[in-house]
Every structure is written in structure tokens, then in C-alpha cells.
Structure 1
Amino acid sequence: MADRNTAPGRTNDESAQVQALLRAEHGDPFAFLGPHEMEDGVRVRVWQPGALEVQLLDAAGESLGFMQEQVPGLFVADMPRRQPYRLRINWSSGVQETEDPYAFGPQLGELDIHLFAEGKHRQLGRCFGAQPWQVDGVHGVRFVVWAPNARRVSVVGNFNSWDGRRHPMRLHPGAGIWEIFIPRLEAGEVYKYEILGREGLLPLKADPVALQTEHPPATGSVVAGRLDFHWDDAQWMAQREQRQGPDRPLAIYEVHAGSWRHTDSGEPLSWAQLAEQLVPYVTDMGFTHIELLPVMEHPFGGSWGYQPLSQFAPSARYGSPADFAGFVNACHQAGIGVILDWVPAHFPGDAHGLGLFDGTALYEYAHPFEGWHPDWDTHIYNLGRTEVHGFMLASAMHWLREYHVDGLRVDAVASMLYRDYSRKSGEWIPNRHGGRENLEAIDFLRHLNDVVASEVPGALVIAEESTAWPGVSHPTQAGGLGFSGKWNMGWMHDTLKYIGEDPLHRRHHHQQITFGLLYAFTEHFILPISHDEVVHGKGSLLGKMPGDRWQQFANLRLYLSFMWSHPGKKLLFMGCEIGQWREWGHDRQLDWYLLQYDEHRGVRDLVRDLNALYRQHPALHQRDDRADGFQWLIGDDSTNSVYAWLRRGEDGALVLVVHNFTPVVRSGYRVGVPEAAGWQVLLNSDALQYSGSGAGSYGELHSEPQQSHGQPCSLVLELPPLGTLIIGVK
């Protein structure tokens, strides 16, 4: 009897179909398995290798009879007409009752397929991967994965004994998308994909769009339940765009979630525990935002998250997706924004990951000169491929929308912009114009920033970009890349080198402080003292400071005061605010015991007070990216290593800042000021309360009608040794 439903171009030879099943090479299982109309009824074929017997049941659970085993594992029965049915399968381990996955039609809509193929599907996290699903009253899970060059794709897990023969998927040929609805599966199931490529069977692959994963070192994907989280951050979300404007204070506390603090038993804190401990700490310290090193699931903890493989799943190391949402919610309720480090540049080569996903270079460039990063031994995303472009854009939007995240800091942007990044001559492939720019990555970054600005107004997208690429934070309409801000890596390198010099020699390096002000207003800069500066043998921030113990702490307080009073938003890595001696280690908590000592408490208290001043005085943050918010008063006193400038707010408010980078008290030091008014010392970094020497000016000051530094009046100050004075108009 002929099968009326044989697809065009498909063989109708039942023997060939059976042999393809037996070899686990059938590329179109829905064309053969399940119910198919025959000339005199409906034939049902069920492929259950290892089953002892299979019985057909009607919708009410009444038996329609046992199926005949045509070959081992292939069971066949005829029905007079098409009707709902389910299966009762006897295994050696027990009895299973379920609907037949191959009795269901396609579940993926044509619009979803079209949008994915066009790279325009913004909500892949709600469409691809494993989605709890319901069809005709039957609950289960729908699996969707992109593998256009695969010969077969199957879902495997404990539910089918990890047997790739039992659940081969349906292919949508034009888009290369595979799907299957498996009835009666529930959230919590661990799964992977078994993929038969052109050259044979591949290692089991994790789901690229998994919303949840197993706890590393396990590498399975997990069916996630709906993120039906009750958010209590409506007020924050309504105010976010205004709170995160370029004229507002931005003081970021950079955190590696696994090593900020540990439990008494030595385990990293969970998201719930971080909400209870980290959020109040950051609030007390006066930071405006927490920036988390990548929380997207990553196989190797020593990568700190910078080699992620699950671009849609929070790491299981700290809890469930709902737990992570709870952490963000707690931050927002406390008035703290959340920024995530996000890595669209590269991914690791773990066998279960994205590399050669369907046996071909799918997510990565095929040529190693384009697709392999020599520094990090990682694959490079082929962002010129429409589907990959859309996949990464959907990842960014997933965190911003689903988890209410307030910004993304895009990692390694420089490596994306240049095709010859970290490559020798002859080891890179020019673009279509013969140049070194990666045009497809540039298009992606511009598109990313335009989409975020349009669809998530007020969200930040910040570039870690270490070169002189022009216009990183300029609008795309003006030829820029469109980022909200850019890390000022040049400022960081210059000033850390300067502060590391013996104070006797700083006069010879004076320009390392002044040089950054030549370009400080060309971008929307963030001043970063990040994790990269306190690891890999670089020592801690305190450890970079020269001199004896007293001078090291004084230099640290001076440097932090310099940073907070300099134009640009602020970012400080955890541990720097307590003057940690050891460089950061990702597998241990910060050295909190140091806070029993006065000097370390002094640094912490100074950072708290700097944040308070920064937030309370608009002159210190309103015009961070504008030249009219800054005025040099003293930039040429290299002999004394003294610098002084004015910061100006929109309402004309003034803040005077004076730094003395030598360990000498300078009495009677005259600094010009524009107003004959009363002035007030707002902060002295050498104050006794910070465990300083107590030298320098304090309290009220009165200007004199003596011209100095181009100003009509002047103040006579006592400059503290290795110290900063921040002075406001009364």
C-alpha cells in the first residue's frame, strides 16, 4: 500500500527508510514516522529502539491494540481513520505512557523562521532552544536549533537514555532550522543535541540558546521554566534613562561574583546571598552601579566568564535564572544599576560548544586567519553571517529585556575592529577593500547600538576599546560606533605609570598626568581601574604604589582622589577600595580581614566620601565629557609635582581640586580662583579620619584679592603630602 504523504524528492522505498533509521541517518523522520494516510486507512510507525513492546491507546486511554515490531525498535500498526492516540511503551526498566512526537505538525512559525534567516529575530530566547510548550492540550517541550549543514539532529537526555536514534528532529530546509515537540517533558530536564555532520557523528553539543545550564564542570543544557518573575523595580525602570544620562554621576563597582565574598564553608555566595550582602555594601559605599564580570555560562572558571558558551544563560554557579533576576531586582530596589560584561568577540573551542557546531564553521569564520584568536586560543564569531549577527544581537537584547539589565560593557572591542589585531604580517586576511578594518564587526557594533538606543532607551552600551579608533562613543549617524561610553585605557596606563614612579622622579614624568586632558573630551570616557590591572603578576593597586607603608597608603588615597576629581565616569574593581595587598585571585574571596587595620579602613572611608562628593556636587559629574566643565589652573608646576584645576557645573557651581604628588607639605601655596568668596575644604585625602597625617588645609578658607594663575583672586593653601584637596564655594 502506497504512502500518500511521501514528500517530493523523498524515497518511497520503505526498506530504504527503515535502513536509514537503523543507521541513525534519517534526515526526514517526520516523513516516515508517526501517522501517515495510506490507501485504506492510517499507518502509524513508532521508532523506539530498545522497547519490549508498544501499545496504541486512544484519547481516553483505551487500548487500540499492540503494534507489530517490523524490525527491532520499529513498531507499526494500522488504524481505519486518523484519530488522537498515545503510546504505552514497555521498557525493561518500566512502563512509559506518552503522546507520539511524530504525530504533531510543525510548531515553529513561518515568521520566526523568516526573522531568524534575516538576522532580525530579537527574541530568540523565547523562540529557539528548549521552550515549555503546549499543543492541543498536551504539555511538553519544543526544541529548536540551527544546524543547516547537519544530516541529522536529535535531542538527547535522560528522558531517552541519551539515545540519538529516538528523537531525530524535523528540518526546515530553507533556513537550516531543526525542531521537535517532545510531549510530557518538563522544566529541569538536562539535554544536548546529537548531530550527524557531513563527516560523521559530532560530540554532543550544548544548546546555543539554552536559558539554563548544568553547574560546571557538567556541560548539559537545562530546560528552563518560564521566567515568571515578579519585578518590583517599576520606579527604577521609569527613571533609568534620566538616571543614566551623560550628565549624571556614574560610579561603577566592578565585581567578580564568585570571589567578592565566600560563605563560612568557603563557597562563593549565591545570587540571593549577594543580594543580601553585596547590594547593601555597594549602597553604603555610594557607588551608582555594579558591573559584573560575565555571568553568561562558561566552562572554565579561570576565564572569569570571558570565554562564554551560553550567551543566554546565567551561570549555574550562583543559582537559577530566577535567582539572578532576583539579584537585579534587589539592586534596582536599592537604587543601584547593573551592568554586565558581554563578549561578542570570541568563544572557546570546547567540544560541546559552538565550534564546528554542525560539522562546519557555522558561528565562526572558517579560515584560521579570521576565525581563530592567537592570544586566547578561541574562535572568532563570524558577524558577517546574517544568522550569527542576529544571534548575538538577540543575546544582547535578552539580558536587557528579560533581566532588566541596565547596560552592557562590550569586551575586547579592539580585537573586533581590526582584522590584523595581534597578528603578524601574512597572518591576516584584508577586507574587501584591502584594509585592516573588520567591516562586518563594525556594522554589527553600530547596529547593536542603534537597536539598543531604539528598543531599550536609557540602557548603556560601553566599549572596552584600547586603540585610538575615532568616534567610538559618537552617534552612528555622525559616523561613530554609537557606544554610550568608552573605557579610557590610555588614561589608565599613563596615570598608573606616573603614580608608580618614585616621587623624586615624578617631575620628569609630569606630562603623563596632563596628556589625558588633551583628549579627555573627545569621547564619553569612563576611567577604569579594572580587574585587568590587579591580576597576572601586575600586583594590587596598593602594591603599585612606591615608598614605605605610609607613602603607599598616601599614594593610594591620592590616586583615588585624583581619579574621582578627574573628568570622566568612574570604575573601580572590588578590593581596591580596601587597599588589598595581594593581587586578585578568582578562586578566593577578598581579604576582608584587612579592615581591622586603620589604614585599610581609611581607604574604604575615603572612597565612600569621594562617591558622596561626586554625587552631591554637579560640578564633579555634569560636564564630564565637555571641555567647558574643566579649567586648568596649574598644569606646569613640574618642579613641585602639583596640579590644580576647576570643575564647573551647569549652574555655575565650582569645585577646586589641588593635588600634591610629593611627600612634602607645601605651606603658603597660592592657587588662583575666579571668585572673591568664602571657600570650604570638602575633602582632604590626608585627613586623620583616613589614617593620614592630618596635614593640609581644612575648614573655611577666604580668597584674597591677589591675582594668580590668570584669576582675579587666590587662595593660600597648605597642601598635604601625597594628598588632594577638594574645595567648594560656600
Structure 2
Amino acid sequence: PFVPPSSARKQANALNAPISIYEVHLGSWRRNTDEGNRWLDWDELADTLVPYARDMGFTHLELMPISEHPFDGSWGYQPVGMYAPTARFGDPAGFVRFVAGCHAEGLGLILDWVPAHFPTDAHGLGNFDGTHLYEYADPREGFHNDWNTLIYNLGRTEVSNFLVGNGLYWLERFGVDGLRVDAVASMLYRDYSRKAGEWIPNVHGGRENLETIAFLKRMNEVVGGERPQAITLAEESTAFPSVSRPTYAGGLGFHYKWNMGWMHDTLAYMERDPIYRKHHQGEISFSLVYAFTENFVLPISHDEVVHGKGSLLNKMPGDRWQQFANLRAFMGYMFGHPGKKLLFMGCEFAQDREWNFEQSLDWHLLDQAPHAGMQQLVRDLNQLYRTTPALYQQDFEPAGFEWIEHNDAERSVLSFIRRGVDDTSFIVVVCNFTPNVWNGYRLGVPQAGTYYEKLNTDSTHYGGSNVGTPLGTASAEAVAMHGKPYSVVLNLPPLATVMLEWKA
């Protein structure tokens, strides 16, 4: 059936809306251990996953690929049946019900979508009619060495139409809200992961894949014309310009782009022992140099908790308490930083082991206070984020962000202001990335009045030590600091992020 477009979905996907995405691998979010550790079906997922994501305060679900695929271990990223929802979780009608269930609870649904490559399985598209129908004939163009997959020949109109039509199929027939396009960097460059002599330049002698660029622009234009309330998001890890800018302005036409640079730099910083962080302050602040060049999503995705990288919790340094405190501070920083949010399943309660696609998340960990505290923090961060326009309205406008102090490397403190369109309130975010308590920390602020603590990741509610400014309020004094005319005196908790609200 054709699912009619919805104005409510359009607003929920807008650049000035709060977007907090819960990324899920359906086969390992939760399993039915009473019946042979089987996957849940669409209706069971609608009854469990959807209310859980809503209760946690997320605005969108993002499903790792659900197009039919032969190999579980590809996690869906090597599909053969682009027009078929995988039978692992039931029939297509079940998926229609699942999408409707998401929308009934106010959740958007984004699908990971893979137009970059396809597997070599004989029953797939490779060598389809005895010729290289869908893929490039020359392996220097048509074979992906990293994944042992075939690459679509997007210069063929029929192949381009096959994929553009497929994107529309998911949006129109199932009512999905968005497509997150996988591995865009591998599509954009002819020499991606290839040595000299292993690739063929374009007609101008360059490395850009002109056919892919034309395809992505056309795909985004067609989706924008046929399904204007839907969004497209690019997983693109290079500095290719204007990925999330309109095609009429020379861009690729995506609505959003994953900020892989932010993810890489901030995780590198967080993994350092706090003793050494003062030498690497730039890692945690550099993202603001380019924060407004694209419409960024801040991604903590499945890729960061697999292949020996360990869980998010176990990336953090220190003893057990410090690991949790570091992770809480990081979460607070992430929700304060400009950009939409994406969190992979399990990270919201500090899953201890790295992700394994063959087994359920370790839900029993929620019986332990630190894990339950982390889950409560993410729930509260989502709630604060969704109800505080300063934290989302101007994510992509320089006017929505202002540094207070990013050079206090000696104490590893970072502070900034987030603003919405309405200037009658703003949020001050202060991060302390050391285990030291900084009592009497004087912080510059732009306005006189009272600053109220809205969230403190060191609260005992979350498993913290409950250090903070008395009564959770601070009155501004006419003492200039950090280039601001006023200042407040705070007690900064250890390994924590504090958010303060000012109101006129």
C-alpha cells in the first residue's frame, strides 16, 4: 500500500527539530531465550522496542539494513533483495505494522540503505544475465577489495533508476521517514582503499566518481520531490565538500551528514588518562572549527563497539567508578554539542562487553546501580534536549553556539553557551574532564541574574558523587571573566558535565 505523507513527520525531521536517534540491530537488541534464543518478530518488536525507545526519550529509531541478505554476519550491509524486507522478522505486512507502531508513539524510523555495493552470491545481482548487468565489468571499478563485493555501475541509467526507485519504495510503500546511506566515502572516490594501478581515473583524470556524484544528487532530488517530509543522511568520513547542501547550490543534497571527525577526536580524547588530557585539549574542541560547514549528526554507532574496539564503557580510563563517570561526562558533552544525536543500542546503559550480533544485549546489567544510573542519565538527557530549544533549534547556525572558555587545558575544563532562536533563555554547558573537584571555579557569563543547574552528570541519581554548586543555583556577579562582563562561581564536580539555564 501507499503510505500518505504526514506534516507531523516533516516537522519531526526538520533541521530545527530535536533529533535523537537510537541505532538498532534487530537481531541482537533482544532475543527470546525461552524459545531457542530466536529473533523477535515485527509485532514483538513493536510491542517492546518501540515503547522502550519512546520511554528513553529518543525521537527516531535507525535500523541497520533490513533488505534481504544471505549472511547474518554482514549485519545487513550486503543485501541481495533490495525490494524485500528480510524474512528473519516476519512478512512485509508485519513491517508495515511496525512502522505504523513507531509513528503512533511519535517515533520516526530511519533505515540504513546500501546503494554502494552488493555481494557476489550467485542468486544475487552479480553477472545477472551472464553479463555484468548491474556492476562495472572491470574489477578496478566493479570489485570492492575490502568487502569482496561488487560495485553498482551507476553510470547506467537502468541501474541508477533501480536504486532511486528502491529508495522511494521504502519511503512510499512502508512510510519510512528517512534513509541513512551507508559507505558514501567508498562511493565518492574511485581510488577508495585502492593502491596505484588498482583504479581507473574519471574522464577528467581525477579520483572523484562522477557517476556516483550524479546518482546521489539525483536520488536526493527525486526523494525531495516525491517525499518532501523524508530525510536522507550520509555516512561520509572524508572532507568531501557540501554533502548536506542543496544540489542547486552545488551540494550532494543530503539533509544530514554523520560527523565522523567529531566521533574520532572526542573518543580519542576520552580514552586518554585524565593526566594527559591537558596536552590534547584540541581534540575535544576542534570540532567547532567546522561544526557549521555541514548539517551534522554526532554518531556513536555500532562501528565503535565491535571488531575488538571494546564497549563504550571499556574505552574509558580509570577504575570502575571513573569509567562510568567519564562516560557520563561524555554523554553530557555530546548532548550539549551542536548537532543531532545518534547512540547505538546498549550504549545507553553502558553495555560492558563489545557488541555481538549473535546474542542479545546484556539487559541483566540494569540490576546493577551504575548501569541503571547511566540509563537514567540518557533518559534525562533526551528529555532535557527535547524540551530545551537552545539545545537543538540552531544546531547548524553559528548563532546557536558561543565559546566561554576552550583554552583551560591545565584543568581540562571546557565551557560554552547554546542558544535557541528566542533570546530570553540560554544554556551554559561546563565539562570537567579530570577527577579533581574544582571548587570556586569562576566562569564568565554574558548576562546578570541567576543560573539554575538543569543537569549534573555527577548526581547520585546517576551513580555520581553529588558534587555541585550549593542549591544548584549561582548568581552572576559584575566581575568580568573569559571575555564576558559577568561571572558565576561554581563547584565543578569530577569527571562530569553540568548544564545551567539562564532565564530573563
TM range (shorter): over 0.9
How far the C-alpha of 1:298 sits from its partner, in A, is 0.3
Partner of residue 387, structure 1: 158
What is residue 515 of structure 1 aligned with on the other side? 286
Write the mapping of 1:359-398 to structure 2, written as runs, cut at 5 A. Answer: 359-398=130-169
Q: Which residue of 2 aligns with 1:251?
A: 20
Matched letter for residue 448 of structure 2: A
Matched, 1:684 2:456: yes
Q: Could you say which residue in structure 2 is the equivalent of 1:335?
A: 106
Identify the residue that residue 493 of structure 2 maps to in structure 1.
720
* Equivalenced residues, count: 499
Assess if the C-alpha contact under 8 Å between 1:375 and 1:422 holds in 2.
yes
Give the CA deviation at 1:314: 0.4
The alignment status of 1:594 with 2:365, answered yes or no, reads yes
- C-alpha displacement at 1:458, in angstroms? 1.7
Shift of 1:358: 0.3
- Larger Rg, first or second structure (1 or 2): 1
- Distance of 2:275 and 2:221 partners within structure 1: 49
Q: Deviations over 1:283-333 (max 9, x none)?
A: 110000000000000000100000001111100000000000100000000
Tell me the equivalent position of 1:488.
259
Give the letter for the 2:15 counterpart.
Answer: P
Bigger proportion of residues as strand: 1
Residue identity matched to 1:436: R
Amino acid at match of 2:364: Y
Q: Is the partner of 2:461 in helix, strand or coil?
A: helix
Aligned residue in 2 for 1:289: 60
Alignment of 1:691-710 (within 5 A): 691-697=463-469, 698-710=471-483
Are residue 506 (structure 1) and residue 273 (structure 2) matched?
no
Q: Name the SS for the 1:481 alignment partner.
A: coil
Residues 1:445 and 2:203 aligned together? no
* Percent of aligned positions that are identical: 60
Q: SS of the residue aligned with 1:514?
A: helix
Equivalent residues of 1:291, 1:339 under 8 A apart: yes
Answer yes or no: is 1:525 the counterpart of 2:266: no
Q: 1:312 aligns with which of 83, 100, 116?
A: 83
SS in 2 for 1:555: helix
CA distance in 1, matches of 2:72, 2:301: 18
CA-CA distance at 1:705 after TM superposition: 1.5
Superposed displacement of residue 475, structure 1: 0.7
Give yes or no for contact 1:489–1:528 (8 Å, CA) kept in 2. yes
Residue 180 of structure 2 aligns with which residue?
409
Residue equivalent to 2:226: 455
1:644-670 deviation per Cα after TM superposition (whole angstroms, max 9, x unaligned): 000011001210000000000000001
Moved more, 387-396 or 264-273: 264-273
Unaligned runs of 5+ in 2: none
How far did residue 237 of structure 1 move?
A: 1.9
- Whether the aligned pair in 1 keeps the contact of 2:414 and 2:430 (CA below 8 Å) is yes
User: Secondary structure of the residue that 2:38 maps to in structure 1?
Assistant: coil
Q: Is the 8 A contact 2:12 2:19 kept in 1?
A: no
Q: Which of 633, 639, 653 lines up with 2:404 in the alignment?
A: 633
Name the structure 2 match of 1:673. 445
1:351 matched to which residue of 2? 122
SS in 2 for 1:669: strand
Q: Does residue 238 in structure 1 map to residue 7 in structure 2?
A: yes
Match of 2:348, SS? helix
SS in 2 for 1:400: helix
Amino acid corresponding to residue 260 of structure 1 in structure 2: W
Amino acid at match of 2:443: V
Gaps (5+ residues) in structure 1? 1-226
Q: 1:250 is aligned with what amino acid?
A: I
TM-score, normalised to structure 2's length? 0.98
Question: Does structure 2 conserve the Cα–Cα contact (< 8 Å) formed by 1:646 and 1:654?
Answer: yes
User: Could you tell me which amino acid in structure 1 is paired with residue 237 of structure 2?
Assistant: S
Which residue does 2:390 correspond to in 1? 619
Question: Conserved in 2, the CA contact under 8 Å of 1:554 and 1:722?
Answer: yes
Partner residue, 1:565: 336
Instruction: Provide the secondary structure at the position in 2 that maps to 1:259.
Output: helix
> Are 1:271 and 2:42 an aligned pair?
yes
| 8 Å contact kept, 2:24–2:63 | yes
User: 2:452 and 2:445 mapped to 1: Cα distance?
Assistant: 13
What SS does structure 2 have at the residue aligned with 1:328?
helix
- Contact 1:665/1:696 (<8 A) preserved: no
Higher helix share: 2
Amino acid at match of 1:666: W
Per the alignment, residue 307 of structure 2 pairs with: 536
TM-score normalised to structure 1 length: 0.68
> Which runs of 4 or more aligned residues in structure 1 lie more than 6 Å from their structure 2 counterparts after TM superposition?
none
Q: Distance in 2 between matches of 1:666 and 1:309?
A: 56
- 2:260 corresponds to which letter in structure 1? M
The AA in structure 2 aligned to 1:715 is: V
Preserved CA contact (<8 Å) 1:601 1:690: yes
